[in-house]
A and B are shown apart, each in its own frame.
Chain A
Amino acid sequence: MSIQVWTYLLIGLSFALYIGIAIRARAGSTKEFYVAGGGVPAVANGMATAADWMSAASFISLAGIISFLGYDASVYLMGWTGGYVLLALCLAPYLRKFGKFTVPDFIGDRYYSQLARTVAVICAIFICFTYIAGQMRGVGVVFSRFLEVEVTWGVIIGGVIVFFYAVLGGMKGITYTQVAQYCVLIFAYMVPAIFISLLMTGNPVPQLGFGSELADGSGVSLLDKLDGLSKELGFTAYTDGKKSTIDVFFITAALMVGTAGLPHVIVRFFTVAKVHDARRSAGWALLFIAILYTTAPAVASFARVNMIETINGTDGAGTLQEESPQWVTNWQETGLIKWEDKNQDGRMFYSGDERNEMKIDRDIMVLANPEIAQLPNWVIALVAAGGIAAALSTSAGLLLVISTSVSHDLLKRNLMPNISDRQELGYARIAAAVALAAASYLGINPPDYVASVVAFAFGLAAASFFPAIILGIFSKRMNKEGAIAGMLTGIIFTAAYIIYFKFVHPELNSAEHWWFGISPEGIGTLGMLLNFVVALVVQRFTAKTPDEIGELVESLRYPKGAGEAHVH
Chain B
Amino acid sequence: MSLVTSEKSKAYWKENLRLMLILLAVWFVVSYGFGILLVDALNTIPLAGFKLGFWFAQQGSMYVFVALIFVYIRAMKKLDRKYDLHEDDD
Q: List residues of chain A with CB under 8 Å of any chain B CB.
A: 66, 71, 74, 77-78, 81-82, 84-85, 88-90, 93, 207-208, 210-213, 221-223, 239-240, 245, 248-249, 252-253, 274-276, 279-280, 282-283, 286-287, 290, 293-294, 297, 551, 554-555, 557-562
Contacts and interface: CB of A to CB of B under 8 A. Distances in A.
Q: Decide if the interface of chain A is mainly helix, strand, loop or mixed.
A: helix
B54 A239 contact: yes
Contact of B24 (A78, A89, A554): A89
Contact of B58 (A77, A222, A275, A282): A77
A558 B3 contact: yes
Given A223-B50, A280-B73, A77 B62 contact: yes
A495 to B, nearest CB: 26
A554 B70 CA distance: 25
Contact of A88 (B31, B47, B69, B87): B69
A221 B49 contact: yes
A333 B1 CA distance: 70
Contacts of B4: 551, 554-555
B43 A239 contact: yes
B50 A294 contact: no
B49 A78 contact: no
B70 A283 contact: yes
B14 to A, nearest CB: 11
A294 B50 CA distance: 14
Interface in B1-33: 1, 3-4, 9, 12-13, 16, 20, 23-24, 27, 31-32
Contacts of B58: 66, 71, 74, 77, 297
Given A85-B65, A213-B49, A252 B31 contact: yes
A71 B39 CA distance: 10
Contacts of B61: 77-78, 81-82
Given A77-B58, A245-B37, A82 B90 contact: no
Given A252-B31, A559-B85, A561-B87, 6 more contacts: A89-B23, A89-B68, A279-B69, A551-B4, A558-B12, A558-B85
Interface residues of B, number: 46
Contact of B86 (A222, A297, A551, A560): A560
Contact of B72 (A89, A274, A551): A89
Given A282-B69, A283-B69, A560-B86, A81 B62 contact: yes
A283 B88 CA distance: 22
B27 A82 contact: yes
B18 to A, nearest CB: 12
A82 B73 CA distance: 16
B66 A276 contact: no
Contact of B90 (A88, A93, A274): A274
A545 B73 CA distance: 32
Contact of A74 (B3, B57, B70): B57
Nearest to B24: A89
Contact of A90 (B9, B20, B48, B87): B20
Contact of A557 (B16, B37, B72): B16
Contacts of B73: 88, 276, 279-280, 283
Residue with the highest number of chain B CB atoms closer than 10 Å, among A85, A274, A294: A85
A290 B65 CA distance: 9
A423 to B, nearest CB: 34
Nearest to A288: B66
A222 B32 CA distance: 26
Contacts of B51: 223, 239
Contacts of A245: 36-37
Residue with the highest number of chain A CB atoms closer than 10 Å, among B58, B73, B77, B90: B58
A279 B37 contact: no
Nearest to A277: B87
Contact of B77 (A84, A248, A276, A557): A276
Interface string B63-90: 1011011101100110010000111101
Contacts of B36: 74, 245, 248-249, 252
B3 A286 contact: no
Contacts of A93: 76
A207 B49 CA distance: 12
B88 to A, nearest CB: 8
B80 A276 contact: yes
A249 B31 CA distance: 9
A471 to B, nearest CB: 15
Contact of A211 (B49, B57, B70, B80): B49
B57 A77 contact: yes
Contacts of A85: 23-24, 27, 65, 68-69
A557 B13 contact: yes
Q: Which 8 A-B residue pairs are closest in the complex by CB-CB distance? A: A211-B49, A74-B57, A283-B69, A297-B58, A239-B54, A211-B50, A88-B69, A221-B49
A221 B87 CA distance: 52
Contacts of B27: 82, 85
Given A78-B62, A84-B65, A223-B51, A71 B57 contact: yes
A466 B39 CA distance: 28
B55 A211 contact: yes
